Structure 1
């Protein structure tokens, strides 16, 4: 395996990336482009992205890790994840130019990088054969309120430790009740809207994610964590919205029950690596 730094021109920014190329085997015709979500850079939490790239290279799959504009060693102003189409397009083109054996590639992203990938899919690109989405970010005020009620406050109310702290003076009762009340009000505000009002922030990014996924003709692997509010918000959206539920049912979905947001243990990381490799192998066998 070789690891090589390259610099890419994207608008007024110079993007930094690391290419991982297999040397001991015939490299596959499908590569993996790892898109980094904020506030991370191309190494990733607990070196997750480095280890993933090296694992793939050891198994004959080329990959590239990218710092988007304003992140890591890349210049320029940091762009919101829903404004990264130019960076992703630049990276896709450069990755394939530096690896002429590639016929197509997989886009891989965690959290808001997964969201950026779905938004990118609004522009069909035959080079993208597959996407791997880990705990996609769909944070909206009302959805966050519902998840907090179900997966945080409810668990706290049934926790002996919480009540021990409460009566022992370790928790400010007024503050806790205020948090719960505000969360209930946010949830109520959501349900007071008309059914025709799209659930979106000011940039409508969640709707763009949905549209991109609907337009996409390739394969999808979704990996979610059981111990992560971001994953719970995404799965809740899929559960309560017919369009999202239909897309989820057509994707390969692996839920790692105990994993946290960044899959920070050796076991969870290895599961993600193996799932990614197997997904690429499926694409190669077609």
Structure 2
């Protein structure tokens, strides 16, 4: 496997990208979430790229404007469609054998892909999409109900309850919150859903079941006939658990194989 570092234009700025070369005709574009650089937290995206390339598929990562090694102003994920488009064009130019481009993003990177309407992309792989307008720390009632349902299936949690190890005040507040109405979609969630509708591209949504961001998304998502949702039990937001890391890798390979 060969890893190449390159620069490519986005408007008046130059962005930094990394290509893990492979001979496959399907390729993976990794979009970073938050203000994270293209290597990912603790080099997680770099390691993922190497593993995918080792399996035979080229992988392209990049820093959007104002992040890491890229020039320009950081405009946030909502204004990053031009960056995604420029990265997709650079990927296709540097991997000319590629006939099918799959884009993967976690958290607000998934949201950015939905808002971008999938231009120059053939398949969208969207993980734990971010739909929170203002993060006040509260969970949607649907997410709370789901959390309590999982706890009631766990014998250890039931034992804690009957032996008095559960904070009853906290439990009552949680039950009150769970009895609330279904969360209304945020403006951001509506814009993301409209972006996917306009894209008319096939997609798969990946949800880590222990992740609050995923739970809030799941409670608001209206559904879309072009895609499906797959869930990973016991997984956190970044899929750091060994079984979750393998699950994510398998999901990506499944889509790349078409």
Q: TM-score range by the shorter chain?
A: 0.7 to 0.9
Instruction: Report which stretch shifted further, 60-69 or 7-16.
Output: 7-16
TM-score by length of 1: 0.74
**Secondary structure, aligned partner of 1:273:** helix
Q: Whole-Å Cα distance in 2 between the matches of residues 70 and 76 of structure 1? A: 5
Give the TM-score, by structure 2 length: 0.81
| Aligned match of 1:132 | 125
Cα 1:151/1:13, change in 2 over 3 Å: farther
Q: Is the Cα–Cα contact under 8 Å of residues 131 and 220 in structure 1 kept in the other structure? A: yes
Residue 208, structure 1, aligned to residue 191, structure 2: yes
1:175-232 CA deviation, whole Å, 9 max, x = no partner?
Answer: x99xx69x97xx78x77xxxxxx731xxxx3222111111233321211101110000
| Structure 2 counterparts to residues 13-28 of structure 1, below 5 A | 13-22=13-22, 27-28=23-24
Distance 1:259 1:145, change over 3 A: closer
Residue 274 of structure 1 corresponds to 250
For residue 217 of structure 1, what is the aligned residue in structure 2? 200
Which has the larger share of helix?
1
Q: Distance in 2 between matches of 1:107 and 1:34?
A: 6
Unaligned 5+ segments in structure 2 are 152-156
Say whether 1:89 aligns with 2:65: no
Deviation at 1:85, TM superposition (A): 1.0
- After superposition, residues 35-184 of structure 1 pair within 5 angstroms as 35-121=31-117, 125=119, 127-141=120-134, 144-147=138-141, 150=145, 161=165, 163=167
Give the Cα–Cα distance (whole angstroms) in 1 for the partners of residues 36 and 212 of structure 2. 19
Change (3 A) 1:56 1:254: same
Range moving further from structure 2, 109-118 or 2-11: 2-11
Q: Which runs of 5+ in 1 are unaligned?
A: 167-172, 192-197, 239-243
RMSD of aligned Cα (Å): 3.1
Secondary structure class of the residue paired with 1:128:
coil
Of the three residues 216, 240, 254, the one matched with 2:230 is 254
Written as runs of structure 1 = structure 2, the 5 A alignment for 1:3-14 is 3-14=3-14
Number of residue pairs the alignment of both structures matches: 242
Q: What displacement does 1:161 show?
A: 4.9
SS in 2 for 1:259: coil
Q: Are the equivalent residues in 1 in contact too, given 2:24–2:97 (CA < 8 A)?
A: yes
Q: Secondary structure at the match of 1:224?
A: strand
